[in-house]
Amino acid sequence: MILTRLATAWALFQGLLIEALPFLLIGVLISAGARWFAPGGRWLRRLPSHPLLGPLTGAALGFALPACECGNVPVARRMLSGGAPLGAGLGFLFAAPVLNPIVIASTWAAFPDQPWLLLARPLGAVVVAVGLALLLGLVGEPQLLQADLLAERRLHQPLAAVGLLERSSGLVGAPPPSALSAEAAPVRPPLAELMKHASQEFLYLALLLVMGSVIAALVQSFVPRSWLLAVGGAPTLSILALMLLALVVSVCSSVDAFLALSFAAQVTPGALLAFLLLGPVIDLKLVSLLGLLFRPRGLVLTTAGAALMVLLIGQWVNLWRL
């Protein structure tokens, strides 16, 4: 019995992993392409740092980069390490998995008879992304971001933008003119260097994806899903249950609408939307990948903040649609 279940979990693991790896590769290639075409990434630092405009711009970038949430992490990491304003990077990280042509098309394909969902999903994703960017912005970068990401980020930020206490090196005061001119002419990395970096990044992210998929496969095999859907009709419980399901199932945002279709008839509309909003922001498969960007505190805040906002949105939708 336990062996059968483990064999099933092994197959689930392979399914999750092999489905996500191509998307991860796309993300790594986009991130490498950005390093090649815009070495130094000066455009990143020109993104708005306004608390509201920043995340909105980041979210809008999702339309240009059709990746789902696994492919999104390397791109967001590249943005943040290149010195993009925190809000813009986080806005991209959290909203782009929903705000991209592929995901919107697949949502429409799955729910052609529910036009409200087609509007509510991107809108909700933007609200959650802006809310999370504001929330995480309160923490302060040294407490939020992983040490090596932070170190890379500092290299690309103008020294004046970094508080004295946050600097680990560098001169005090305005940068000397020589530093400015060095920054003005970024060098394109040699192709071999670019490939090396991309391969190393892909392998490292693949390892994290493996860990996430193992956890997701084990939880899925040993916790019967019918427990979660048993509460389908109750307004608040159904939202909570489907949020938990989104965390556990860990399928990519480009296909989760089709999965939601299979139980759409059994649950409240708010719960359905909650499932479609929370999964792209955080799930078991993503936790280890996001650990590449955030310290544990950032991870906890992301999960709690996203869960709270999605719950509120779901409740509101239930009041409106039920």
Partner 1 sequence: MTPPLLQRAALWRAASLGLWALVMLVSSVDGRLDLLLRAVFHPLVALAGLLLLLVALLQLRLAFGPGRQERGDRRQARTLLLTAAIALLVLLLPPAPSFADLAGQRPRDETAESELSFVLPPAQRSLTDWVRLLRSQPDPKLFAGDPVRISGFVLPMEGEPPQLARLLVRCCLADASPVGLPVHWPAGQAPFPADQWLAIDGVMGLKPAPGGGERLEVVPSRIRPIPRPARPLEP
Smallest separation (angstroms) from partner 1 to the CB of 292: 12
Transcribe 200-229 into DSSP letters. Answer: HHHHHHHHHHHHHHHHHHHHHHHS-HHHHH
Neighbours of 203 (CB within 10 A): 10
Which of residues 45 and 77 has its CB atom nearest to partner 1 in the complex?
Answer: 77
Smallest separation (angstroms) from partner 1 to the CB of 159: 28
From 37-45, 95-103, 219-227, 269-277, give the range in contact with partner 1 by CB under 8 A. Answer: 219-227
Neighbours of 160 (CB within 10 A): 9
Residue of 46, 204, 297, 300 interacting with partner 1 (CB under 8 A): 204
Residue of 210, 218, 237, 292 interacting with partner 1 (CB under 8 A): 210
Neighbours of 154 (CB within 10 A): 20
Which of residues 109 and 182 has its CB atom nearest to partner 1 in the complex?
Answer: 109
Report how far residue 303's alpha carbon sits from residue 309's, in angstroms, rounded to the nearest whole number. 10
Q: Answer positive or negative: Cα dihedral of 59, 63, 68, 71.
A: negative
The Cα angle at residue 241 between residues 238 and 245, in degrees rounded to 5: 135
Report how far residue 304's alpha carbon sits from residue 308's, in angstroms, rounded to the nearest whole number. 6
Q: In this structure, what token pair is assigned to residue 306? A: 């996203």
CB 271 within 8 Å of CB 238: yes
Residue of 7, 300, 304, 308 interacting with partner 1 (CB under 8 A): 7
**Site residues for partner 1, window 71-130 (CB under 8 A)?**
113
Q: In this structure, what token pair is assigned to residue 31? A: 């991130």
**Site residues for partner 1, window 247-276 (CB under 8 A)?**
249-252, 255-256, 258-259, 261-266
The position carrying tokens 């859907």 is: 229
Q: Would you count residue 225 as binding partner 1 (CB under 8 A)? A: yes
Smallest separation (angstroms) from partner 1 to the CB of 75: 17
Residue of 63, 199, 300, 319 interacting with partner 1 (CB under 8 A): 199
Which of residues 90 and 257 has its CB atom nearest to partner 1 in the complex?
Answer: 257
Note the residues at the interface with partner 1 (CB under 8 A).
4-5, 7-8, 10-12, 14-19, 21-22, 25, 29, 113, 192, 195-196, 198-200, 202-204, 206-207, 210, 216-217, 220-221, 224-226, 229, 249-252, 255-256, 258-259, 261-266
